[in-house]
């Protein structure tokens, strides 16, 4: 639907640690306009959250008088203890209604209200938390009914701290966090492994797949015993300097998926035949899709527009907007 065919209904914010992404959503839930800002919660301008919000969304707000102000909803680290206002975690199993019940509000300098969505906590011996991903997950659940069918589904969110969420019955049942992206950056930039790497503008698929397969093979004793092969395969002429980064990427993602498979094995299941979706950067999701194929999983489509769909869905459940009005 074109921007002229829908009336603005909601300002939706995906506000993380290092960046802010804003969406002007129409009555159909689709984005009429988007804005990106580097003003994450740890990179705010001198005027803090209010200034960042005004600089990003001020003209959208100016188009509507305060008496008819567009509702505003925000998710992500903006609701953390370091955020604009703290929205305490809700516990798993968590449905969209629990997120709505946990919304916390903050008043802006111009007098409007921002509704901040809470994150999700899984208690246990090894607790897990997420902020922002829960909104994307509920956007995915709203977009595809098959994700709520018997047996549930698995939703992966690749990134700095990759998440894998088990979903079913329209709720997040449990989830796991893998520090894959951050570990890759640390190993590449701050250990001896990076000394022999040369950056390359192109992705080396064979080197990446070799890393995935090395991690997948049961004969290898684990991550700490295999990552040094990034260097030794270079020293022995089996990997070029340009290939080593992609090999390490495949190795780490492969170990992540191997760990996930071991979790599934405890439930007498595996990645093979599992209903699985990805949410995230297209290039990174492509890497995960290639890695998943090495584990026998060939159905891992990327969910588009999960963030804005999730924010609109939660706003609708909270009574801030009506249900999406679809074109006839």
Residue 198 sits at φ, ψ, to 5 deg, of: -120, 130
pLDDT for residue 155: 97
Task: Summarize pLDDT for 248-270 with one digit per residue, the tens.
Answer: 999 999 999 999 999 999 888 88
Domains belonging to the chain, first-starting first, are 3-144+307-317 (3.30.420.300), 178-302 (3.30.420.310)
pLDDT for residue 150: 67
Of all helices (H) and strands (E), which one includes residue 167? strand 162-168
Q: Are 38 and 19 in contact (CB under 8 A)?
A: yes
DSSP-based three-state secondary structure for 49: helix
Residue labelled with tokens 């890759």: 184
Q: Are 176 and 128 in contact (CB under 8 A)?
A: yes
Contacts of 111 (CB under 8 A, 6+ apart): 66
pLDDT for residue 221: 85
Mean pLDDT, rounded, of the chain: 93
Q: Which of 67-71, 273-277, 293-297, 307-311 comes out lowest in average pLDDT? A: 67-71
**What is the sign, positive or negative, of the torsion defined by CA atoms of 297, 223, 188, 37?**
positive
Residue 75 confidence (pLDDT) above 70: yes
Task: Summarize pLDDT for 201-252 with one digit per residue, the tens.
Answer: 999 999 999 999 999 997 878 899 999 999 999 999 999 999 999 999 999 9
pLDDT for residue 218: 76
Residue 48 confidence (pLDDT) above 90: yes
Residue 4 confidence (pLDDT) above 60: no
Q: How far apart are CA 81 and CA 140, in angstroms?
A: 27
Three-point CA angle 61, 280, 285, nearest 5°: 155
H helices present in the chain, as ranges? 48-62, 96-101, 133-143, 180-190, 205-216, 223-226, 229-235, 244-265, 282-294, 306-317
Give the mean model confidence (pLDDT) for residues 81-104: 97
Contacts of 160 (CB under 8 A, 6+ apart): 179, 181, 182, 185
Q: Token pair for residue 279?
A: 């949410």
DSSP-based three-state secondary structure for 87: coil
Residue 35 confidence (pLDDT) above 80: yes
Residue 148 confidence (pLDDT) above 90: no
């Amino acid at each position: 639907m074109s921007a002229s065919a829908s009336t603005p209904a909601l300002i939706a914010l995906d506000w993380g640690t290092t960046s802010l992404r804003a969406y002007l959503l129409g009555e159909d839930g689709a984005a009429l306009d988007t804005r990106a800002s580097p003003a994450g919660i740890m990179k705010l301008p001198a005027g803090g959250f209010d200034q960042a919000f005004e600089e990003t969304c001020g003209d959208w707000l100016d188009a509507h008088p305060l008496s008819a102000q567009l509702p505003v909803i925000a998710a992500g680290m903006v609701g953390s203890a370091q955020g604009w206002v703290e929205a305490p975690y809700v516990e798993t199993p968590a449905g969209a209604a629990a997120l709505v019940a946990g919304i916390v509000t903050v008043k802006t300098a111009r007098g409007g209200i921002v509704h901040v969505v809470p994150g999700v906590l899984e208690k246990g011996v090894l607790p897990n938390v997420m902020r922002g991903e829960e909104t994307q997950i509920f956007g995915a659940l709203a977009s595809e009914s098959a994700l709520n069918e018997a047996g549930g589904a698995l939703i992966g969110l690749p990134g700095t701290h990759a998440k894998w969420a088990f979903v079913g019955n329209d709720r997040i049942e449990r989830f796991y966090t893998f520090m894959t992206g951050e570990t890759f950056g640390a190993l590449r930039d701050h250990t001896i492994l990076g000394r022999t790497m040369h950056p390359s503008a192109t992705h080396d698929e064979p080197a990446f797949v070799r890393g995935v397969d090395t991690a997948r093979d049961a004969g290898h004793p684990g991550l700490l015993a295999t990552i040094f092969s990034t260097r030794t395969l270079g020293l022995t002429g089996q990997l070029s300097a340009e290939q080593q980064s992609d090999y390490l990427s495949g190795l780490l993602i492969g170990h992540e998926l191997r760990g996930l498979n071991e979790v599934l094995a405890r439930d007498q299941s595996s990645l093979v035949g599992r209903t699985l979706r990805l949410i995230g950067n297209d290039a990174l999701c492509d890497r995960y899709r290639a890695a998943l194929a090495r584990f026998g999983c060939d159905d891992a489509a990327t969910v588009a527009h999960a963030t804005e769909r999730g924010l609109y869905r939660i706003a609708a459940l909270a009574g801030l907007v009506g249900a999406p009005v679809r074109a006839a």
